[in-house]
Chain A
Amino acid sequence: MTQTSAPGKLKVGKVGELVPRVDAPTKVKGEFAYASDLIVPGMLWGHTLRSPHAHARIRSLDISEAVSMPGVHAVLTHDDVPGKKTYGLEFPDQPVLAIDRVLYYGEAVALVAAEHPEQARRAAERIRVAYEPLEPVTDMERATEQPPLHAEGPARGHGYFDDPRPNVVRHMVIRHGDVEAVGDVSVSGVYEVGIQDQAFLGPESGLAVPDGEGGVDIYVATQWLHVDRAQVAPCLGLPLSAVRVHLAGVGGAFGGREDLSMQVHGALLALHTNRPVKIVYNREESFMGHVHRHPARIWCEHRATREGKLVNVRMRILLDGGAYASSSTAVASNAASFAAGPYEVPNALIESTAVYSNNPPCGAMRGFGAVQTCFASEAQMDKLADALGIDPIELRLLNALQPGDVLPTGQTIGGSLPIAETIRAAAALEPPPAEELPRDPVRLPGGTGNTTHGEGVRRGVGFAVGFKNIAYSEGFDDYCAARVRLLADGSAEIHCAAAEVGQGVTGVILQVARTELGIDDVRLAPGQTATVESAGSASASRMTWMAAGAVRDACRAALEEQQRRPGEEIDVERIYRHPRTTPLDPQTGQVTGERAHVAFAACAMKVVAEVDVDLGLTRIVWIGAAQDVGRAVNPQQVEGQIEGGTAQGLGLALMEEIQTRDGLITNASFTDYLIPTALDMPPVESVLIEEPEPSAPYGVKGVGEPPTVVSTAAVVGALRAATGRELTRVPVRPDDICL
């Protein structure tokens, strides 16, 4: 264990050392200030009126009664949005407030600011909205034949394949080699993934404070401060300099805070009332307040030689993006890029389509398209192993990608990608022997429910491997800035707008700065847009790599500057860029330059499950993971990410699904949207494969997503082994096992 020095002044180590989290004690004790804890004198409470329909025309909107309610200071509609009326991460297709129609259940329609949150809620109830319900588009397969929800085609003209069908956000095809190539054997399957929610514990919240000069400061739980500012300022009709975004305490993100939630709304109310305005969503509202993981339907055919070498992988991927684009184009592309898994595939035909519908909007979530396809393609690999009579791990090793191999997109793997080593390391992990019976029912499927004392219980072992990209792809200029001040007292202050979303980037930044500057006394200034350039998003497993690069470069520049001007205070800012990427060809899905993706990271996982086959209940007993991490900046943090990421994938495998009926969410609560408890998530034994990534600072790779990508596939693999059922849909329902 690392020793700590004086209390309150934790000695944070250098890159590669095991360092306890600085924020852990306050979070464990409930003392950490999350965005929902923000409070300032004179503050008003904002509330959002949301659509009860999945698809409707707004005939009229009457706020007269609501404005005159006690304590109410403002009631705003789309008429009160002074600047651009729409926004969006990729295309501005989403209105700040609904204009003449609503496209999803929970879409924001109007805003209220009042002295008390209760007054704001009561006033919102008195806003009269006359809706004319319309037939909702809810089936992703039928969406491309139904009337267009976005007739103007927001995604057109951005360099993607121009698909004439209605409701297509992006359609792409990867053609690799001879797409008709045949093998000795072929296995097929159709797989489905339900809508998963990020289910972060800290709901959307923030505080907007007017500066008295027409500008506004927004304190918010987010993943990317500068892109928030870039979307908020035009809607407010303000220059970027008049909008300052500050990072407030984030209670989990997982992609769900990439899109805006309350940022524009809070700022509109604050500027309108000239009072600080706080907005906090409740749990039910949070399920409507952010985008979710895309539900998917995936058709697969894998062709291979008798010896088990993959010959041709053919997949058709359909993703429901819901009402607005969010990051659907990138999710569709990522799903296609990693569809075939970390295998050398000489020929492939991979089609990927994201559609618009009136279902809940979907966008970024940990794993970003690769989770859905890994679930399908790893099921296919097991099926292929079975058809060939080859050990499934041997089959994976036989086809494992390695540096120098070519991906279906035509990109040659240049950096580190130790797939075979990762598979071998996970395969070598030995699960504990089965526990004796009788045992406490909490150690059996069904847990506290006391449903079995051993009756009907079968044990199964699953194995899967998955990979995905690190950082943004396809030509996105994905940079990160850091600023270093060397002060007269010998200490250093780092500015970096990297969002600490619980992943521990704060510790990474301090470790890098201490390593580079050779001093202990380093502080990280609060994250904000005004004092430093963009850090990019805490997304895509990129933040550790990018922040490490930027802080390293800024520290080295600061030391050089200090040599030139000894004795003076130093203040330098540097921008770090990873190797440039270029777009995929819209016709062939092939790379147009050296690379479409920056680098890759993989995880292999072995899972032991016990399944009560008569009741369809499950207990995951043990998980062993081997992960390709490049170099671990802080091994303890990396293990934490592996465990957390695994739990999220396990949740998708076993229980997590937003259910809808005609586009309406029917389980918007933690009573009915279930996430794993300590009785559902077993201990994880993890092995870190450290093969430095040559293009990354210190050889690091992102670690947050690979375990999520693979754990869903590995858990369901174990369930298949225990039950003998195909289990082609996640989350697996008890019905799927025992009926």
Chain B
Amino acid sequence: MEILTPRTLDEALRIKSERPGAWPIQGGTDVMVALNFDRNRPEAMLNLNEVAALRGWSRDNGALRLGSGLTYAEIEHGELRDVLPALAEASRTVGSPQIRNRGTIGGNLGTSSPAGDALPPLLVEDAEVECASVRGTRRLPLGEFVTGVKRNALEPDELITAVWLTPSEAPQTFMKVGPRNAMVIAVVSLAVSAGEELRASFGSASPRPVLVTAPREEADAFPARVAAAAAPIDDVRGSEAYRRHALRVLTHRALERVLA
């Protein structure tokens, strides 16, 4: 297997256009599991760790640009904690501290797992995914970017370069259910915000991220509405019935927090 290590974004995009089969790797917290378990054997790896343009985050007028190489630890501990509190709470639930030091939101988007912890809080904040290639750059709403279970709209020559959003500053929270008290894949998760309207999105309860909204005055019916919008399944991590029940409980509790 070849390891390709570009130093600049231009070089990375050029390689990706020439070698669309090369797998991008940043933190490696998903990719290395797939390799170690022998689930996949790509011909080449595109190591993005040396591309400075993908790291960190910046402000652009009122909008935020989160680099795809932004780590969960950076979100959890830095200034973003106050700007994007639900995303910070979600980041805190990801793996162990070591994993959070390596894992990135770009990886979460690239994997496009229904259990991706960053996806619900980003969707509630109307995030857009920036995809780049030698052909140019485009932005896709997160809900359109993810097209199915571990599938997304990224073209073979594209890389995820950033996430754009304008913080709503609405009260918001994130919760995640797992059968142990740390280091779990979500059995079900939920992000809720209460700005001009109520907004919710959940993880591990539908093939694609779903945004559920309602007027603030319909808060009482909101838990049932969120649970009804889910399409959970039975699997080794939990039952369909439990996931739906938990979504109702979580939404109810989330509203108490964000409407307080």
Contacts and interface: CB of A to CB of B under 8 A. Distances in A.
SS class of chain B's interface: helix, strand, loop or mixed? mixed
A695 interface: no
B159 interface: no
Contacts of A455: 253, 256
Given A445-B181, A615-B249, A669-B37, A451 B242 contact: no
Given A666-B236, A672-B236, A655 B179 contact: yes
Contact of B253 (A451, A617, A738): A451
Given A446-B177, A452-B253, A615 B246 contact: yes
Nearest to B250: A451
A450 B89 contact: yes
Interface string A703-739: 0000000000000000000000000000001110011
Nearest to A668: B37
Given A615-B249, A671-B185, A451 B177 contact: yes
B208 interface: no
A677 B185 contact: no
Contact of A447 (B89, B181, B237, B238): B181
A666 B234 CA distance: 13
Contacts of B249: 456, 614-615, 738
11 contacts: A442-B181, A449-B178, A449-B181, A451-B250, A456-B249, A617-B181, A678-B182, A680-B181, A735-B239, A738-B242, A739-B245
Interface of B: 33, 36-38, 89, 92-93, 173-185, 187, 189, 236-239, 241-242, 245-246, 249-250, 253, 256-257
Q: Which of B38, B173, B253, B256 has the most CB of A within 10 A?
A: B253
Contacts of A446: 175, 177-178, 181
A284 B37 contact: yes
A302 interface: no
A453 interface: yes
Contact of A449 (B37, B177, B238): B177
Given A450-B174, A739-B245, A655 B180 contact: yes
Given A449-B181, A678-B182, A679-B180, 13 more contacts: A282-B37, A284-B37, A442-B182, A447-B182, A671-B33, A672-B185, A672-B237, A677-B180, A677-B181, A679-B181, A680-B182, A734-B177, A738-B242
Contacts, number: 101
A449 B176 contact: yes
A667 interface: yes
Contacts of A678: 182
B177 A739 contact: no
Contact of A450 (B36, B175, B184, B246): B175
Nearest to B37: A284
A456 B249 CA distance: 10
For B175, B239, B241, the residue with the greatest tally of chain A CB atoms inside 10 Å of its CB is: B175
B38 to A, nearest CB: 7
A707 to B, nearest CB: 20
A449 B175 CA distance: 5
A683 interface: no
A677 B183 contact: yes
A667 to B, nearest CB: 5
A242 interface: no
A287 B181 CA distance: 23
A448 interface: yes
A389 interface: no
Interface of A is mostly: loop
A446 B246 CA distance: 12
A703 B253 CA distance: 44
Contacts of B182: 442, 447-448, 677-680
Interface in A437-476: 442, 445-453, 455-456
Contacts of A445: 181
A443 to B, nearest CB: 9
A654 B175 contact: no
Given A450-B176, A614-B249, A734 B184 contact: no
Contacts of A734: 177, 179, 187, 238, 242, 246
Contacts of B236: 659, 666-667, 672
A121 B35 CA distance: 13
Nearest to A678: B182
B242 A449 contact: no
Contacts of B175: 446, 449-451
Nearest to B237: A672
Contacts of B180: 447, 654-655, 674, 676-677, 679-680
A733 B187 CA distance: 12
Most B CB atoms within 10 A — which of A121, A449, A672?
Answer: A449
Interface string A584-602: 0000000000000000000
A338 B183 CA distance: 36
Contacts of A614: 249
Given A121-B38, A672-B236, A619 B181 contact: yes
A671 B178 CA distance: 11
Given A615-B249, A734-B179, A739-B242, A449 B184 contact: yes
Interface in A664-693: 666-667, 669, 671-672, 674, 676-680
A733 B239 CA distance: 10
Contacts of A680: 180-182
B41 to A, nearest CB: 9
